Structures are given as structure tokens and as C-alpha cells.
């Protein structure tokens, strides 16, 4: 059973001016160092808070890579939750679960014309190896069983419900189109992601 290990206050966002709390956990099965970032005490003040399960993306979140939209989705969510409250579960499963080095290998294949899924498959991986069981355990450790999920990804919706979390609603993020990620976003849309590529 997962439990909250520690809770600290800090400021986040691109300008580091948004108050939040960061929580660590113990008792997670894989012992990966997942964290929760909580805005406006949403775990205590809301019975069904906004929640985003955001998988680590070093290239996008930290270095603002042109290859994906992860950093933009994260920043959009931080800004939204700074107003309405909410919880980001930051999950250590880089590259849809294949790891950083394999993701960089997939980038090389994408440079040769494959899309993101084709590249992962060529390397011997499935379309998406992520598992959201520990995200559900983190929510349970926070005393939450019902959420509003911030995602465009049907796998996240299905997985979190299969692990016993009730969804009050699903909130989509914008399609963050920029030079270099159009092919990536089209591939995601073709795999069922709810993206309005005309916005």
C-alpha cells in the first residue's frame, strides 16, 4: 500500500512563481520516484480534483524539444491548476515506458521517416508500455477515488478506470503545434488521441 512519504512547499512553472506542494511516496511497487505536484490544496479541498498523469519527458519538459508537445502540455496544466487547483502525477516512465536512450534511438528513426509509433515498434517495443497502476495508488494514498482527468490519451482513461478510479469527466489539453512536431501529433491523433490539429 502506498503512503505519502514527504510533502514540501515550492513554486513551479516557467517563471517559478506558482505556489504548489510536491509529495513523495513510499510503498509503490516499482519503487520509482514518482511525485505529485498539488495546487491550491486540491487533495484536501476538492472531492473530485483535476488530475494529470504526466509521464516524464526530459527532452520536452526540460529542454523544450521541437519533437513533442509534452512541455507545452505540462505548462498548460500548471497554469490551469494554478487557478482551479489540481494535481499533477509526475511519473518516471520516459518515452512511453521505453526509457531515455531508447527514445533517442527512436528519434533517429523518426528522422529517417518513421512516425513515433513505427519507431518504437522497429526497436521491438509496443506502442505504449506505460502502466498507470502506481498513479492510481498515489491517488488512493491521497484519499481520492474520483477525479477529472486532464488528458487526450484514451489509454490513460481506460487504465485509470481499470485500476478503480472513477472519472467525473475528461478535460482535453490544446494541440500545441510547432515546427518539428506536426508529424508526431498527426501520428498521435491517428492512434486515438483527442487532438484538434486545426485549432
Instruction: Classify residue 10: in a domain, yes or no.
Output: yes
Set 43, 69, 128, 159: catalytic member: 128
> What is the number of structural domains in the chain?
1
pLDDT of residue 69: 83
Cell numbers standing for residue 33: 520516484
Burial class (CB in 10 A: 0-12, 13-18, 19+), 143: exposed
43, 69, 130, 159: the catalytic one is 130
53 located within any domain: yes
For residue 128, indicate whether it is catalytic. yes
Bridge partners of 89, per DSSP, are 36, 53
Q: Give 17: exposed, middle or buried? Use CB within 10 Å, 0-12, 13-18, 19+.
A: exposed
Tell me, yes or no, whether 171 lies in a domain.
Answer: yes
Q: What is the β-pairing status of strands 86-91 and 18-26?
A: unpaired
The residue range of the domain holding 164 is 3-93+130-190
Give backbone dihedrals phi and psi of 6, rounded to 5 degrees, phi first: -155, 155
Judging by DSSP bridges, how do beta strands 146-150 and 50-55 pair with one another?
parallel
Cell of 131: 502502466
Per-residue pLDDT, 148:
97
183-to-116, 143, 187, 189 alpha-carbon distances in Å: 9, 40, 6, 10
C-alpha cell belonging to residue 187: 501520428
pLDDT score, position 26: 96
Q: Is residue 197 part of a domain?
A: no
pLDDT in tens, the chain (199 residues): 899 999 999 999 888 899 999 999 999 989 899 999 999 999 999 999 999 999 999 999 999 888 888 899 999 999 999 999 999 999 999 988 999 999 999 999 998 989 888 999 999 999 889 999 999 999 999 999 999 999 988 999 999 999 999 999 999 887 656 566 565 556 556 655 665 655 5
169 within domain boundaries: yes
For residue 124, being part of any structural domain is answered with no
At 68 the pLDDT is 82
Residue 183 belongs to a domain with what CATH number? 3.40.50.10990
In a domain, 72, yes or no: yes
Kindly state whether residue 138 falls inside one of the protein's structural domains. Answer: yes
Amino acid at each position: 500500500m502506498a503512503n505519502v512519504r514527504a510533502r514540501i512547499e515550492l513554486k513551479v512553472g516557467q517563471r517559478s512563481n506558482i505556489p504548489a506542494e510536491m509529495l513523495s511516496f513510499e510503498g509503490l511497487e516499482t519503487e520509482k520516484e514518482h511525485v505529485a505536484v498539488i495546487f491550491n490544496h486540491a487533495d484536501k479541498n476538492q472531492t473530485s480534483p483535476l488530475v494529470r498523469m504526466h509521464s516524464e519527458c526530459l527532452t520536452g519538459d526540460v529542454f523544450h524539444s521541437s519533437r513533442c508537445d509534452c512541455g507545452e502540455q505540462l505548462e498548460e496544466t500548471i497554469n490551469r491548476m494554478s487557478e482551479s487547483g489540481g494535481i499533477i502525477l509526475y511519473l518516471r516512465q520516459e518515452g512511453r515506458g521505453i526509457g531515455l536512450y531508447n527514445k533517442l534511438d527512436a528519434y533517429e528513426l523518426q528522422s529517417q521517416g518513421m512516425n513515433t509509433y513505427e519507431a518504437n515498434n522497429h526497436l521491438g517495443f509496443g506502442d505504449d508500455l506505460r502502466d498507470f497502476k502506481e498513479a492510481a495508488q498515489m491517488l488512493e494514498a491521497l484519499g481520492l477515488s474520483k477525479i477529472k482527468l486532464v488528458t487526450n490519451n484514451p489509454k490513460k482513461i481506460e487504465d485509470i478506470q481499470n485500476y478503480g478510479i472513477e472519472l467525473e469527466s475528461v478535460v482535453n489539453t490544446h494541440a500545441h503545434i510547432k515546427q518539428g512536431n506536426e508529424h508526431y501529433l498527426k501520428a498521435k491523433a491517428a492512434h486515438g488521441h483527442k487532438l484538434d490539429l486545426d485549432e
